A and B are shown apart, each in its own frame.
Chain A
Amino acid sequence: MKKGKFNKEIGRKLRTIREKLGMTLEQVSELMGFSNYQTLLNIESGKRPIRAQELSSLVKIYCVDVESILLNKKEKPVTVLWRNRNEAQEVKQREQEFMKICGDYDLLEKKCGLEPNEEYKTIRFDRGKLNYDGVKKTADMFVKGYGFGDMPSYSIEKILEENLGIKIIYLDLVGIGSAASTIGEFGAAILVNKREAPWRIKFNIAHEFFHIITWDIVEDKEGIRCRENEDNIIEKLANCFASCLLLPEKPIIEEVRKRVKDNGISFYDYIYIARKFSVSTEAFLWRLVDLGICDASEIKESLEEGIIKSLDKEQRRVDWQSVEVPIISERYIYLALKCFGKGLISKGKLAELLRVERAELPKLLESYGYNEEGERDIVCTVSSRR
């Protein structure tokens, strides 16, 4: 391709991405440190060739791969279903960041030579079970059949990622939305707000998991997009599923039984059990209503009174402050380090994937217990299979 045509093609792609993200020339120019938007305008129209360093900065701002600009890599459009999505301009940008991480994650798996894990596709949710009873039974079946254990909150992320092949990404979604899910070429993925309380994050993961397993049978995707609507039955079913999945009947009843005294349980005990199961006290109390252990009007009254909520807030301060949620999961980090060890990704790429400055990478690797000294060879007389 001739130089002039090449520059025009690059410029066109850059403009398309910027417009797709809803960013203005002025906004991007400011982020790039250009004194005015004319430079970017000239790059986009192919009048001025983009410098390598500028391209490096732009792909970071746009959350795209350099390959998507320099090569003819076509991306298929993906539907992202949001929960409580706001109309903020940043939604598109965060969505792009989510897609980029999912794509990177998928490529890491492929580079490691792993077969795509699409175990989630084997879960068949019968259309006829899209009702409260069906959802409860399905959640119960999952707890028993997929090894969630008595306290599924502690295992849900690992089981979804390792066993079912669902990617989980944690981004700062303040002012944007609380969670989202999608299925694309990279498989199924869930996005949660890392700024929310840890128990809320778990609940959102379970909620989005429901959307993944019902993806093919819920046809009204646009209807789901309006999830802000509290009357949306699918949203209610997803909440019911999350509650039943994270609070399995038998262990819950056992815990309550241990603490009943004179037909009652103190606020403190309720909060303690909810914390033990790593769910919100409110979700826990409603689950008790659902199990027929507590009376709905009494729970409603107690919650409205506010005392239990304020006690809950005080007691959970420690749980909230002690957790720093990473953007990427342990599995993603493991795959990235494995690829790096094999020389399949460079240091700069590793820093980008682990979202640190390159100069900070050695410290981060040290914190993961990774040391290049570990790649030294010891002479071995067995011949390689390759």
Chain B
Amino acid sequence: MSAPFLLDADIVIGLHELGLWNSIVGHYGKIFLSETVYKEPLFYYSPTNQKIPINLAPLVKKEQVKVLEGKIIIESKILEFLNRFDITEGPWLHSGELESLAIIVDSQDLRFCTVDKGPIITLSMMKLDNRGISLEELICNCGIRRKLEYKHTKKYFGKYITEGKFRLISNPQDFQL
């Protein structure tokens, strides 16, 4: 099995919308969420446009979902790093995304699965692009093939990894803990 994955809120929602949530959790055995994502009110819309709440608590109980806490001190280092960039280049992140990135920085092998370009660019700027993964790759690793929206593709993810590298080259900075 590949490295464990930390999922962003959009991925949890996207997998529910695609009807793949149970398959993914079943395949990987355990997936990880940040505390902020876990405590966020999450829901998705069914194909008939019904608003359906997502209840993750039973999976946490069964230890199929593990909730991780990001360290505030690492969040502050990430913010400090982003603030060194030009205002038109450094992504402006929500505290929930900062927590996810802090977890990634703090762990050895977790990979962050997100469709959010802000955190993807940030991962790349921190030279942690190998610690991110697209939804397409996440589901392909399970042998599932689906027609996906552009934002879920490897191509989309790669585009913003490249964007991050570009911003780093134009304004070289090193992320250090």
Q: Which B-chain residue is minimally distant from A73 (CB atoms)?
A: B83
**Given A53-B39, A111-B88, residue A347 in contact with residue B99 (CB < 8 A):** no
Which one, A52, A111, A339, A357, contacts B99 given CB within 8 A? A52
B9 within 8 A of A: yes
**Given A3-B73, A6-B73, residue A343 in contact with residue B94 (CB < 8 A):** no
Which one, B36, B45, B80, B149, contacts A52 given CB within 8 A? B36
Q: Which of A63-71, A223-231, A254-262, A272-280 binds B? A: A63-71
Which one, B45, B83, B98, B116, contacts A347 given CB within 8 A? B116
Q: Residues of B contacting A10 with CB < 8 Å?
A: 72
**Contact residues on B (Cβ < 8 Å of other chain), bracket:** 35 or more
Q: Which B-chain residue is minimally distant from A346 (CB atoms)?
A: B118
A348 within 8 A of B: yes
B154 within 8 A of A: no
Which one, A3, A50, A107, A357, contacts B92 given CB within 8 A? A107
B21 within 8 A of A: no
| A358 CA to B44 CA, complexed, in Å | 11
Q: How many A-B residue pairs have CB under 8 A?
A: 131
**Given A67-B79, A110-B87, A372-B150, residue A347 in contact with residue B73 (CB < 8 A):** no
| A236 CA to B175 CA, complexed, in Å | 57
Which one, A70, A348, A386, contacts B75 given CB within 8 A? A70
Q: Residues of A contacting B96 with CB < 8 Å?
A: 56, 348, 358
B132 within 8 A of A: no
A348 touches B150 (CB 8 A): no
Task: Digitize A337-367: 1 where CB-to-B-CB distance is under 8 Å, 0 elsewhere.
Answer: 0010001111111011000011100010000
Q: Residues of B contacting A87 with CB < 8 Å?
A: none
Q: Residues of B contacting A6 with CB < 8 Å?
A: 72-73, 76
**Contact residues on A (Cβ < 8 Å of other chain), bracket:** 35 or more
| A93 CA to B89 CA, complexed, in Å | 32
Main secondary structure of the interface of A (DSSP, over half): helix
Q: Which of A371-386 contact B (CB under 8 A)?
A: 372-373, 375-377, 386
**Given A70-B79, A359-B41, residue A349 in contact with residue B94 (CB < 8 A):** yes
Task: Digitize A63-105: 1 where CB-to-B-CB distance is under 8 Å, 0 elsewhere.
Answer: 0001100110000000000000000000000000000000000
B34 within 8 A of A: yes
- B residues near A, CB below 8 A? 9-10, 13, 34-36, 39-45, 69-73, 75-76, 79-80, 83, 87-99, 102, 115-121, 149-151, 159-160, 163, 166, 170
Pairs A-B, 10 closest by C-beta atoms: A348-B94, A346-B118, A343-B117, A52-B99, A70-B76, A56-B95, A53-B35, A52-B70, A349-B94, A345-B92
- A residues near B, CB below 8 A? 3, 6, 10, 49-53, 55-56, 59, 66-67, 70-71, 107, 110-113, 339, 343-349, 351-352, 357-359, 363, 372-373, 375-377, 386
